[in-house]
């Protein structure tokens, strides 16, 4: 018999870390500040889960380019900047810009010198950047944020500010979880309704939109399946916590809107932890990567010198052992 999975909680030390690194708007009420903290915690949990599931922060073939330095990277809808700061620390001689409409959740301390955060509304076009500015543009979980009728214009604008030969990557989740039981189905219905943007995402996902842009080429799509629940190990537990945060952020709105009673929501939340393990529920994601046409310069081959040294040492040792 499967026992109820222990509910993960954010430790007091991590909560204190969030309070010291991120701020919430003073003009918001107490409940808004609580929700802001919960949303930041949820973003951190999702970021950590995806980093484990993807075995890294991105799928585009730009690792060596970023290591070589001088590259300009734009993180769209960066939120609290977890992806941006991780990347800036990993690639210290490239430069990273994170943009979001809410500047109050930007990190305020211990930020690397090679990263900046800017308050930019993605729907106010044109964006405040020159043509051919960025080598890599990254977008994650924005499909339900931008209205369907504006996505094509936003993508065209992003292509404008990409350098020739630059890459764009979009990482999105499919709205419906797979093998969801009744409790999770209830939560999904609450989270997605009424959500016209999400409905549009199903009918016209980003790969379709990007394929229609003539300036892009070499589009690649990768699908990722991530477990939700204790059965899925570290990734599963993180994504279960992610759904707990979604419930925590929205429960007052759902109850006040009479979409569900407080008693019904409490029962669904309680059942969900055992149910996802029993049903082996999982989320599906896709990463779509494309490159901007037009680069006619020389083919740049970047080699990792440390790796070459290690390989040469291994070859020398093998030769010595053979002798």
Domain positions in the chain:
23-293
Angle at 141 between CA 136 and CA 147, to 5 degrees: 100
Pairwise CA distance, residues 66 & 323, whole Å: 41
Low-confidence ranges of the chain (pLDDT < 50): 1-35, 196-198, 308
| Strand stretches in 70-151, DSSP E | 72-76, 95-100, 115-119, 134-140
H or E element that contains 162? strand 162-173
Q: Give me the pLDDT at residue 288, please.
A: 96
Q: pLDDT at position 315, please?
A: 56
- C-alpha angle 148-201-220 in degrees, rounded to nearest 5: 110
The pLDDT score that the predictor gives to residue 312 is: 56
pLDDT at 265: 96
Domain 23-293 fold: Rossmann fold (3.40.50)
Map residue 100 onto helix, strand or coil.
strand
Q: What is the pLDDT of residue 19?
A: 38
Q: In what order do the strands lie in the sheet with 95-100?
A: 115-119, 95-100, 72-76, 134-140, 162-173, 282-292, 216-227
CA quadruple 66, 70, 76, 79: dihedral sign: positive
Task: At 108, list the tokens.
Answer: 């305020």
* pLDDT for the residue 318: 55
Q: What is the pTM of this model?
A: 0.81
CA-atom Rg of the chain in angstroms: 22
């Amino acid at each position: 018999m499967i026992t109820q999975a222990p509910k993960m909680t954010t430790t007091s030390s991590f909560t204190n870390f969030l309070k010291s690194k991120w701020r919430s708007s003073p003009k918001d009420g107490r409940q808004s500040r609580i929700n802001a903290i919960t949303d930041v915690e949820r973003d951190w949990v999702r970021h950590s889960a995806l980093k484990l599931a993807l075995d890294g922060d991105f799928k585009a073939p730009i690792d060596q380019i970023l290591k070589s330095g001088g590259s300009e990277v734009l993180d769209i809808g960066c939120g609290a900047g977890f992806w941006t700061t991780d990347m800036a620390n990993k690639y210290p001689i490239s430069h990273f810009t994170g943009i979001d409409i809410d500047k109050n959740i930007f990190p305020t301390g211990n930020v690397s010198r090679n990263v900046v955060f800017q308050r930019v509304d993605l729907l106010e076009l044109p964006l405040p950047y020159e043509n051919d500015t960025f080598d890599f543009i990254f977008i994650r979980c924005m499909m339900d944020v931008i209205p369907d009728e504006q996505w094509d214009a936003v993508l065209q604008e992003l292509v404008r500010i990409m350098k020739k030969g630059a890459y764009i990557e979009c990482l999105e989740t499919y709205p419906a979880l797979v093998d969801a039981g009744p409790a999770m189905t209830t939560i999904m219905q609450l989270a997605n309704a009424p959500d016209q943007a999400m409905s549009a995402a199903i009918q016209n996902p980003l790969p379709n939109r990007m394929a229609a842009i003539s300036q892009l080429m070499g589009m690649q799509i990768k699908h990722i399946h991530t477990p939700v629940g204790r059965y899925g190990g570290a990734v599963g537990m993180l994504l279960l916590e992610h759904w707990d945060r979604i419930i925590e952020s929205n429960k007052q709105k759902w109850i006040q809107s009479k979409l569900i009673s407080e008693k019904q929501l409490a029962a669904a939340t309680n059942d969900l932890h055992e149910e996802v393990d029993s049903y082996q529920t999982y989320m599906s994601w896709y990463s779509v990567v494309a490159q901007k046409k037009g680069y006619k310069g020389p083919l740049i081959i970047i080699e990792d010198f440390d790796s070459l040294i290690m390989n040469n040492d291994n070859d020398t040792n093998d030769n010595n052992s053979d002798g």
